Amino acid sequence: MPSTSAHRLAGEVDVLAFDIFGTVVDWHGSIAREIAALHPQVDADAFALAWREGYRPAMARVMSGELGWTLIDDLHRMILDAILPRFGLGHLDEAARRQLNRAWHRLAPWPDVVEGLQRLKRRYTICTLSNGNLGLLTNMAKRAGLPWDCVLSAEVFRAYKPDPATYLGVAKVFDLPPQRVMLVAAHHDDLAGARACGLRTAYVEREIEFGARRPKDVSPQPGNDLHSRDLLDLADQLGC
C-alpha cells in the first residue's frame, strides 16, 4: 500500500516528467543485443559501454560552447564514428553507420514500464524530459508502445539537463509552479538538478542499467520525495 506521505504527495503533483535513457529504456541491453546480432565477433557489452561513455563529454562540448547546438542523434553519430575503429568496425559504410546509429531509436523498455506508465497516466499527465531529440523519443515511443501525453526534450529548450531551463521548462509548458511537477529518474544527479529548481523527485531503481556484470548502488538517498523499485511500485505509491 502507498505510504501516508505518498498519498499526500499524490494530490500535490500534476505532471510526471520522465528521464528516458536507463530509467524508462534499457539502453545497455538494447545496444548490446543489436551489436551481437550484427557483429558477433565484437564484444557487445564493451561496445555499448564505450558508446554511452562518450555521451557526457560530447554534451559538455555543446554546453561549453565548443560546439553549437547539436542533437543527440548527431552526438551519438560522432561518438560512433570515433569508436568503430577500436572494435574493428572502421570499414562500415555510411548506410551501415546510419542504421546502427538509429539503434538509439529502438531501445527496449524495462519490463515494468508500459504497464506502469499506463497506470500513472490515469491520474497524471506523463511526459518525457530527456536529452534525446524529439524524433528519437517519438520513434522510440511508437515502437515500444510508450503512452506519453507529451514528448518534451532538450531540443525544445535548446539546453541539456541539468540546465535549469529543462526542468523549469516543463513547468512552463504546463503553466504550473515547479512543485507541481515531479521528475522520475534512475540518476541522482538528474534528480538533484530538478530538486534545485523546486521540482518533486522520485528515484527508480535500475540496478542493471550498465549490464548485469556492473550492478549499480540503488540505495535510497536523502532529498528524494519517493524511492521506488520500478514504475509499478511508483504507481502503487502514488495511488494509481
Summarize pLDDT for 81-130 with one digit per residue, the tens. 999 999 999 999 999 999 999 999 999 999 999 999 999 999 999 999 99
Average pLDDT over residues 19-41: 97
**3-state SS class at 215:** coil
Confidence band, pLDDT 50/70/90 cuts, at residue 3: very low
CATH architecture of the domain covering 4-26+108-237? 3-Layer(aba) Sandwich (3.40)
Q: Which fold has domain 28-105?
A: DNA polymerase; domain 1 (1.10.150)
CA distance 37 to 235: 35
User: What is the model's pLDDT at position 33?
Assistant: 97
Listed in sequence order, the DSSP H helices in the chain are: 4-10, 27-38, 44-53, 55-63, 72-83, 94-101, 113-121, 134-144, 154-157, 164-173, 188-196, 231-237
CA distance 183 to 195: 9
* Straight-line distance from the first to the last Cα atom of the chain, in angstroms, rounded to the nearest whole number: 11
What are 119-178's pLDDT values in tens digits?
A: 999 999 999 999 999 999 999 999 999 999 999 999 999 999 999 999 999 999 999 999
pTM assigned to the model: 0.94
CA distance 225 to 21: 21
Confidence band, pLDDT 50/70/90 cuts, at residue 2: very low
Q: What are the two backbone dihedrals, phi and then psi, of residue 117, each rounded to the nearest 5 degrees? A: -65, -40
CA distance 75 to 35: 19
CA distance 8 to 105: 37
27, amino acid identity: W
Domain regions of the chain by residue span = 4-26+108-237, 28-105
Q: How many residues does the chain have?
A: 240
128, amino acid identity: T
- Percent of the chain past pLDDT 70, that is, above it, reads 97
> b/e per residue, 113-143, with b = 16+ CB within 10 A?
bbebbbbbbebbbbbbbbbbbbbbbbbbbee
